[in-house]
Amino acid sequence: MAKWKKISIFLILSLLICICIVVSLVVRRPYRTVVAADSKICSEVGRDILKEGGSAADAAIAALLCTSVVNPHSTGIGGGSIFTIMSQNGTVKVINSRETVPKTIKEDLLSDCPCSQTGGINWMGVPGEIRGYERVHRLYGRLPWSRLFQPTIRLAREGVKMSKIVVRYLDGIKNRGARQLFEDEQGRMLKEGDTMKFEKLADTLEEIAENGADEFYTGETAKKLLCDMQQAGGSITLEDLRSVEVSEVEPWKVSLGDYTMYFPPPPSGAAVVSFILNVMEGYNLNPASLEGKERVLTYHRFVEACKFANAQRKLMKDPRFNNVTKAYAITRKEFADRIRKKITDDQTHDAQYYSVTPEVDTQGTSHVSVLDEDGMAVAVTSTINYMFGSGEFSPQTGVIFNNQLADFCYRADKIQTGERPPSSMAPMILRSTKTDDLIIIGGSGGTMITTGVSMALANYLWLGNSLEHSIAKPVVFVDGKNRLSFETDFDKDVIKALKDLKDTVKYQKYFYNVVNAISKQRGTIYAYSDVRKGGEAVGY
């Protein structure tokens, strides 16, 4: 009897060990190469490009093109993007193709800055997305240009199922021209599970695939775009399209423990993320920081850092037109030390204490992270700005127009031809100075990017969380008026404690702080695409 008891215990223990191993493999999902996009479909598109011998840059472009069809409210070729790319030899470059101010804009445009007034064609910037793809492909691509477009052309023609995420934001364009893209033959808005087709966009993508980026900026497609823009009341001209330039610049960088974090300079908002992380690093965080009474203090300090960060957003200006010395200064450890001394552990303060000017909060954008077998890493964030951009589109080309100039609201007194607007985009790559460990990360969600990416990195770097849990944990968002919003399932004791400290709390129905990331730790690659947007990373 004792013998059989020992055998039973042995078998049970063996079974438990096997289960643990299987669960570990499923949850941690190690890869050789991987794509983390906003949807499983688009991650698969990028993965297939990698399987064919494409580079991480090829895969990122293909995944973004796919996202313009699967999540058309977030991004598209009528917008702009910022790439942070680390080549196989460790060299990092930033490719910025964000939209620019056209030569002619509505007089006193910024006087219309309340959020309700920033939809429409008047707020459209000159799209840079396709020029950005062209530059990135020329520098880092391996497969033919046309190959990157083929999966999305097929998806646009055959159609994709409308997700609940897309449906959620359709009400925002019910009085806009772009609603036609999401209506059935009887003029009724499509529902979740219905098939979206974008046949005009497929035609446009075929022309660009065959004729190159010039097709969008000087070819027949450009003429169609301009015709539709002008009919909608826009002011962009052929000269504006011809003059689009892509910026290829060195990244800014900060040290975070063993890691060096590389990120785009302004007008990207990544410097603001670096500021928050510098502040939090000074508290010597560790897993115990989220235990007992310490967890309230940790979140309080994070919230306070985010409030001070809001005051820095107005510094994120185009360096080609503005002095960004002050913006660079906020990335330094000395600045973080000075601000940390102003954070009081037992109270919060009014907006004046943080030098905050209230700003409009947005929820758009899309992010893709890619790591290929040769070690090339790409973090790219792309946008048409607000949900469905301007709410207008080109019937002849299927392109949704951005409303990127709205990002100047409350951050600029004047704007200049060719200038890029400020942004919350933060595509970043972190590399260990001691090992080959990597983190490739970025987010979508407009102004939610800042707190979302900052919290995810703090969770991963210091608070003992896996990559998946670092991103999936409920978050607190600090908006442009320093009000707090808590995601469902956020720690109720922490919420109460922060309310007791006199923090202003605002209810928010949906959280769009979507983070897609990849890590390489001790030679093993993991990835996670945020489920808040229905994402799933795919690799092999």
Question: So where are the chain's domains?
Answer: 34-78+99-248+384-402, 250-362+426-539
Q: How confident is the model at residue 19 (pLDDT cuts 50, 70, 90)?
A: low
Number of H helices, E strands in the chain: 18, 17
Q: Are 445 and 451 in contact (CB under 8 A)?
A: no
Q: Is 237 a catalytic residue?
A: no
Burial class from Cβ neighbours inside 10 Å (0-12, 13-18, 19+) for residue 218 reads middle
Q: Are 78 and 402 in contact (CB under 8 A)?
A: yes
Q: Which CATH number does the domain 250-362+426-539 belong to among 3.30.565.10, 3.30.540.10, 3.60.20.40, 3.20.20.150?
A: 3.60.20.40
**Could you tell me which residue, 333 or 175, shows the higher pLDDT?**
333
Task: Please state at what angle helix 40-51 crosses helix 150-158, rounded to 10 degrees.
Answer: 140
Catalytic residue among 33, 365, 381, 450: 365
Asked if the model's pLDDT at residue 107 lies above 90, the reply is no
In sequence order, the 6+-apart residues with CB closer than 8 A to the CB of 187 are none
Asked if the model's pLDDT at residue 14 lies above 60, the reply is no
Give percent of the chain above pLDDT 70.
93
Interatomic CA distance for residues 148 and 160, integer angstroms: 18
For the annotated binding site, the residues are 98, 383-385, 407, 423-424, 446
Residue 494's Cα: distance from chain center in Å? 27
Task: Please report the pLDDT score of residue 110 as a whole number.
Answer: 85
Q: How confident is the model at residue 7 (pLDDT cuts 50, 70, 90)?
A: low
Asked if the model's pLDDT at residue 380 lies above 50, the reply is yes
Mean pLDDT for the chain overall? 93
Asked if the model's pLDDT at residue 215 lies above 90, the reply is yes
Q: Tell me the whole-structure pTM to 2 decimals.
A: 0.93
Interatomic CA distance for residues 479 and 451, integer angstroms: 9
DSSP H or E run through 24: helix 2-28
For the annotated binding site for L-glutamate, the residues are 98, 383-385, 407, 423-424, 446
- Give the tens place of pLDDT for each residue, 21-64: 444 444 445 789 999 999 999 999 999 999 999 999 999 999 99
Q: How confident is the model at residue 11 (pLDDT cuts 50, 70, 90)?
A: low
Interatomic CA distance for residues 57 and 138, integer angstroms: 10
- Give the tens place of pLDDT for each residue, 189-200: 999 999 999 999
> Which residue, 505, 501, 500, is CA-closest to 490?
505
Q: Do the bridges between strand 438-444 and strand 160-161 make them parallel or antiparallel, or are there none, so unpaired?
A: unpaired
